[in-house]
Amino acid sequence: MTVPSGEAAGPLRIVIADDQASVREGLVLLLGGLPDIEVVGAAADGQQALQLVAEHEPDAILLDLHMPVLDGLGATRRLIAEHPGVAIVVLTTYADDSSVLDALQAGARSYLTKDADRADIARALHAAAGGLTVLDPRVHATLLQAATAPSKPGEAPGEAVPPPDGLTHREVQILGLIARGLTNPEIAAQLFLSSHTIKTHINRIFAKTGSRDRAAAIGYAHRHHIG
């Protein structure tokens, strides 16, 4: 994925939150050694993370899900409510569909597992700060599996159902392509529509589904088996 560059005047300012000291300190060293990233704080739990975000006003936060005091999901919800300008990137051991969907629904913009290397993490942080979504390959596979699994015993995968929340069939089609990771130009080319038309459809999709960004829309799509 190409990450926007040249827009920021200085390095990306981030907070790191992980309850394991060895992981937290390792991430500080790994990412803090990059010229385009500045680690402004490191937290051992979600409550500390909120305090550091309020104090330093970073561009993004790298957040583990399972932490004491306030876990990653609770911290994500608080961050979205209190600091909506901070991009949230989840970095965790867990890639099960429940954890992924809960995090995306809560407002996380990107989701990586701890198998990711430094370059992948840095790329995801920059992309998230630029409004883009990055999903770990394992996470993407998990979401696709969840999307194609029967929602009820005996129900066939992909069985036709009326579009939810007033979505049109075209909007469902576009939402499905978003969930598969296609960009706006790729969707426009596949559907033989203009980029402007695709943007209009996506704005309506966001409004109808209550999604603040692509990550939330992807979470919505997989919860409703669209994709």
Domain ranges within the chain, ordered by starting residue: 12-142, 149-223
* Amino acid, single-letter form, for residue 203: N
Q: What is the pLDDT of residue 145?
A: 67
pTM: 0.64
Taking the CA atoms of residue 117, residue 118, residue 121 and residue 123 in that order, the dihedral angle to the nearest 10 degrees is: -110
pLDDT digits (tens, 9 = 90+) for 140-152: 666 666 665 555 5
Quick check: do 12-142 and 149-223 share a fold?
no
On average, the pLDDT of the chain sits at 85
- DSSP H helical segments within the chain, as ranges? 21-32, 46-56, 72-82, 97-106, 118-129, 137-148, 169-179, 184-191, 195-209, 214-223
Question: If DSSP codes are grouped into helix, strand and coil, which group holds residue 182?
Answer: coil
pLDDT digits (tens, 9 = 90+) for 10-32: 899 999 999 999 999 999 999 99
Report the run of H or E that residue 75 belongs to, with start and end: helix 72-82
Pick the CATH number of 149-223 from 3.40.50.720, 1.10.287.90, 3.40.190.10, 1.10.10.10: 1.10.10.10
pLDDT digits (tens, 9 = 90+) for 84-123: 999 999 998 877 767 787 888 888 989 998 888 999 999 9
- Is pLDDT of 47 > 80? yes
Tokens (6 digits) for 180 = 């598969």
Distance, in Å, from the CA atom of 133 to the CA atom of 127, rounded to the nearest integer, reads 7
Q: Which CATH class for the 12-142 domain?
A: alpha beta
